[in-house]
Amino acid sequence: MEHKLFSPITFKEVTLKNRIVMSPMCMYACEPEDGTVQDFHVTHYESRAVGQVGLIMLEATAVQPEGRISTKDLGIWCEKHIEGLKKVSDRIHTHGAKSSIQLAHAGRKANLPNDILAPSAIAFNENYKTPNAMSIDQINETIQSFKVAADRANQAGFDVIEIHAAHGYLINQFLSPLTNKRTDSYGGAKENRYRFLSEILEAIKTIWKAPIFVRISADEYHKDGNNMEDFIYYAEQLKKQGVSLIDCSTGGVVPATIQPFPGYQVPKAEILKKHVAIPTGAVGLITSSIQAEEVLQNNRADLIFLGRELLRNPYWAKQAANELQFDLDAPKSYERGWL
Ligand code: FNR
C-alpha cells in the first residue's frame, strides 16, 4: 500500500513535501522580553527542518504586547520583529521545509503585569487576573493587529499562517458561550460569537493571499460549552471564508480535568472533515508512524501535527520513514549517515 505520511499535499500555491507538521509550541525563550527572535529559536526550528518535517509552525506569536501569554513570548506586534522572524523562515526554507507562524492573542489568559482584555470580565481562575471587557474600539484595534501581523508574516517570508482560535485564548473566548457573555453583536448566538474570528479573517485576507489555517478547540469539556453542532457551524463558516485547513485541538477554555490517550483528539478532526469536507489537521499524542499512517489512510485528517514527540526527537521523520520503509531524502551533508 502507498504510504500517505510522505506524500506531498498542496494548499493554494504551497506544496508541503510530506504530511508532518511541527505543532506550534511556545518556548518562552525571549530574553530580553521584547518578543524578538533569539539564536535559540533559529536553532530550534531549523533543527526540525533538517529533520525533514514538511511544515514547521512557529509558536503562538503575539499580535499585541498585551496579548502575550507571558513576557517571554515571541512577538509580531512591531516592525523590528520582522528581521528575526525572516531569519527563522529563511533557515527553514534552506532545508526544503515550508514555514508557518501561529498568530495569537492570549486575552484573559495573559500572565502579564499590565491590564488584560477579554470579551467579558471573567477570570480564568483565581490564579489569573480579571480581564477588562473589550470595547468596540478595542475589538477593532485587535482585528487590525491581526491584519498588520499577517502583513509582517508576509514580509518575513512565511508560507502559511495559522490563527490561534483554540485553548481558551482570546478568539476562543469570543467563540465560547462559557467566556463570552456580551450583549452586543459579538455575543449571544453562535453567529455573533463567530463574528470576531470572521472579521479577523476578512481583514487578513485583504493582504494575505497564501493558505490560512485555523486552530480550534473542538471540545470544551463542559456541558454548557460549544457542542459538535456549533463546531460544525464554525467549520462551515471557515470553509466559506476560504480557510485551507482546520487544526483540531481541544480544551483550555475553562479549567477541566481530562485524561488524554493516544490520538484522543483525532475524532474531532475526522468529524469536521467528514461533515464539512474541509481539510483537517490531527494533533495530540500522536507519536508513532503507524498511528499517523492510520489517520491518513482512513481519511480522518490530512496533516499530522506533532508536538512533544518532536521536542524529544527532531529526527522523528527519519525514524518514521525507516519504519514505513520509505526512502526519505537526506539533508545533503548527512547522506553518509542516513541509513
Ligand atoms: C504547546 N501547545 C501549543 N499549542 C498552540 O496552539 N500554540 C502554542 O504556542 C502551544 N504551545 C505549547 C508549548 C508546549 C511546550 C507544549 C508541549 C504544547 C500544544 C501543542 O501544539 C499540541 O497541540 C499538544 O502538545 C498536543 O500534541 P502532542 O504534544 O501530544 O503531539
Each residue's pLDDT tens digit, 213-267: 999 999 999 999 999 999 999 999 999 999 999 999 999 999 999 999 999 999 9
**In the chain, what percentage of residues exceed pLDDT 90?**
99
**In the chain, what percentage of residues exceed pLDDT 70?**
100
**Mean pLDDT, rounded, for 286-293:** 98
For residue 127, the CA-to-ligand 1 centroid distance in Å is 21
Closest atom of ligand 1 relative to the 249 alpha carbon: 23
pLDDT at 339: 82
Please name every residue paired with 161 in a beta bridge, in sequence order, or none if there are none: 101, 212
For residue 218, the CA-to-ligand 1 centroid distance in Å is 15
Backbone angles phi and psi of 10, in degrees to 5: -115, 130
- Output the ligand 1 site: residues, CB below 6 A: 23-26, 59-60, 102, 164, 166-167, 215, 249, 283-286, 306-309
For residue 25, the CA-to-ligand 1 centroid distance in Å is 5
Please state which CATH class domain 4-337 belongs to: alpha beta
Please name every residue paired with 283 in a beta bridge, in sequence order, or none if there are none: 305
Check pLDDT > 90 for residue 2.
no
In whole angstroms, what separates CA 101 from the centre of its chain? 8
Check pLDDT > 70 for residue 1.
no
Query: Which residue from 16, 6, 14, 57 is spatially nearest to 310, judged by alpha carbons?
Result: 57
Report the DSSP pairing between strands 55-62 and 74-75.
Answer: parallel
Report the DSSP pairing between strands 160-165 and 132-133.
Answer: unpaired
For all residues of the chain together, what is the average pLDDT? 97
Q: Are 69 and 114 in contact (CB under 8 A)?
A: no
Closest atom of ligand 1 relative to the 286 alpha carbon: 31
pTM: 0.98
For residue 191, the CA-to-ligand 1 centroid distance in Å is 28
pLDDT, tens digit, 9 for 90 and up, residues 64-116:
999 999 999 999 999 999 999 999 999 999 999 999 999 999 999 999 999 99
pLDDT at 323: 96
- Total residue length of the chain: 339
**Mean pLDDT, rounded, for 37-56:** 98
Distance between CA atoms of residues 311 and 314, nearest Å: 6
pLDDT at 67: 97
Q: How confident is the model at residue 3 (pLDDT cuts 50, 70, 90)?
A: confident
CA atoms in the 13 A half-sphere facing the CB of 278: 29
Q: Are 245 and 213 in contact (CB under 8 A)?
A: yes
Residue 114: CB atoms within 10 Å: 10
Pocket test for ligand 1, best of 21, 25, 40 (most atoms within 8 A of CB): 25
